[in-house]
Amino acid sequence: MHTHRYSQVLQLDIQGTPQAWITLAQAATHVARGAVAWAEGSGPLAVLRGGFNVPRGAPSVLEVPPIIALHGAAGVNLFDVVPAVTKTRLLRRDRHTCAYCGQVQAERALQCEHIVPASRGGAWSWMNLVAACAACNGRKADRTPEEAGMPLVYLPYVPSRFESFLLEGRHIRADVHEWLAARLPKHSRLH
């Protein structure tokens, strides 16, 4: 099996809730086992050719869609699972924009800034972190935005399950991106 430009498949539960990004090989196994309830996408992500199927008298061909929903119930309601905060996801959520001066910056020039400083019990969480440039982060220092006289130009929020999969920033096909984007909440900054 050769590597494809897009090698990740979006795995959903039968209700259409994103579960995980899985490898082409994992997805092919689900397809071959008949575990796929339904699929989405504008054509296969990959067409895999196997050995010779004797009963059919033809070579084996397995088409792997870019989005697959598996039979069976998910073990956990993933809408109750808060996606993990990482610098990359946070900066993407905030569109690489400093929460204090509003300037769009390169990823390397931005920092994850605690609204309530960590030294004062501020958590590493979606609701207490924003993107900030080094200058604003230094100016705000160990104070709240109110104490520093630096109001936020946008408010933090917890990304939805669909946003979380887009925030990972994987190299995904346009049809998969559109499928996820069509399910974003109205307030999402990713529109």
Please name which of 33, 125, 103, 44 lies closest in space to residue 70, comparing C-alpha atoms: 33
Task: Identify the residue with better confidence: 49 or 57.
Answer: 49
Task: Identify the residue with better confidence: 155 or 186.
Answer: 155
- From CA 173, how far away is CA 80, in angstroms rounded? 27
Residue 55 pLDDT level (bands cut at 50, 70, 90):
confident
Helix H segments across the chain? 24-33, 87-93, 134-140, 145-148, 161-167, 174-181
pLDDT of 159 > 50? The answer is: yes
Instruction: Give exposure, 94-130, as e/b (b: 16+ Cβ within 10 Å).
Output: beebbbbeeeebeeeebbbbbbebeeeeeeeebebbb
Q: Using an 8 Å Cβ cutoff, are 140 and 133 in contact?
A: no
Stretch among 93-102, 114-123, 171-180 having the lowest mean pLDDT: 171-180
For the question of whether the overall pTM of this predicted structure is more than 0.85, the answer is no
- Quote the pLDDT of residue 188: 84
- Quote the pLDDT of residue 2: 45
Instruction: Output the average pLDDT for the chain.
Output: 88
Q: What is the mean pLDDT of residues 15-29?
A: 90
- Quote the pLDDT of residue 1: 41
Task: Identify the residue with better confidence: 6 or 98.
Answer: 98
Residue for token digits 């610098």?
A: 87
